Structure 1
């Protein structure tokens, strides 16, 4: 019997008329993380009550080995990149959002050869500061959502998977199958990338617009059109 890992065939998303499987998932933060979600005085604020569907999707893609090894990131094309994945994701939410105390960060733009004049001007006049504050989501936070299509736990024979999210992918989140997830919120902004128009219950950011809660089967039927 070979000890070499077996290649996994991911297939395509929504390539048949069969219903799309819906896998309830619980996500637990193992380390703190932050996003530059909203600009506030002296820094940025993270939205602690949710993890975006795209953060989960790309974090999972990296863990499953779907990301190309390259020095620089490719040009941003969410529709093309998400369409290439054999799954879709919901927004993950928690009923008990928490944030750690403000943390001061520093940009070391002047570490080598000083600042270019245009960078110095931006730093003086705009939101680009040498020192700024963020607030991180703490470890131990529990979010619930769903993955549609490929079951990554079954495909890789794992009871749990760890993904990276947040600024510089510094946050670690553990994903496990969950039987308690009955309803989920989709991202209407992601639906719009695939030409679908969904109602918006809460506008968080341009790229993060929550739909009203949907049952797992209804959500799965909706995302089946995202291809």
Structure 2
């Protein structure tokens, strides 16, 4: 199994996000942006059928308008320790097929989240905590039908489809998970709250965000912390046979 040096999370939706929701999301990420100039702007790379690839710096409202009309987008947010990229592709080459399941991916390199001899561990641990807190706040804004992610790129089982996984009331467990309210009720709200995961947060919608292991540690079928959380919730550990 190939392991890329990034963490990637996908949020999946029943329908395309509105301009207002996108604007709220980008305003949220601007709170964490630590650029010295243009603190009210983000770096947006987008593509469309007419003009090809373009790169702009714009405020949250303008980028929200852009992403509603282009075929692909990648918004880079500097958060002090690295960038988090937010994006999707409508042309069928992304994960999953946008036409059937609208989605957003959140991607960051792992290097600033790894143990380092060059800086205090407590500083690195604060970054790890901030990383998952940003994702949980984004889940509050976006209310996805399902969210999953891992270090090494998005992957599912050979016989799985993304639409089937997203529709399940008890989806498999990944390193990063967004459960909608119906899933929390199916699994048991107290059981979810008490899961022995590294980070558990209830969402305003009644859903929950779980980071099973401290970033950038991985889950695998043999990783004991992940098996413990999966057993506690009564679900399986997600398969990662097929990358996208």
Query: Which band: TM-score by shorter chain?
Result: under 0.3
TM-score, with length taken from structure 2: 0.23
TM-score, with length taken from structure 1: 0.24
Q: Which has the larger radius of gyration?
A: 1
Q: Higher relative CO (CA 8 A, sep ≥ 6), structure 1 or 2?
A: 1
More helix by share: 2
